[in-house]
């Protein structure tokens, strides 16, 4: 229950963070 929720959420957050970081 603490490996599927954060997994998907982390993926999305990571994508946004990367975009902001690269910009």
DSSP the chain: --SSHHHHHHHHHHHHHHHHHH-
How much is the pLDDT for 21? 82
How much is the pLDDT for 19? 87
Q: What is the pTM of this model?
A: 0.34
Listed in sequence order, the residues at least 6 apart from 7 whose beta carbon sits closer than 8 Å to its beta carbon are none
Task: For the chain, 23 residues long, give each residue's pLDDT as a single digit of tens.
Answer: 556 666 666 778 888 888 888 77
How much is the pLDDT for 2? 54
């Amino acid at each position: 229950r603490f490996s599927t929720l954060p997994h998907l959420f982390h993926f999305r957050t990571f994508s946004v963070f990367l975009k902001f970081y690269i910009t």
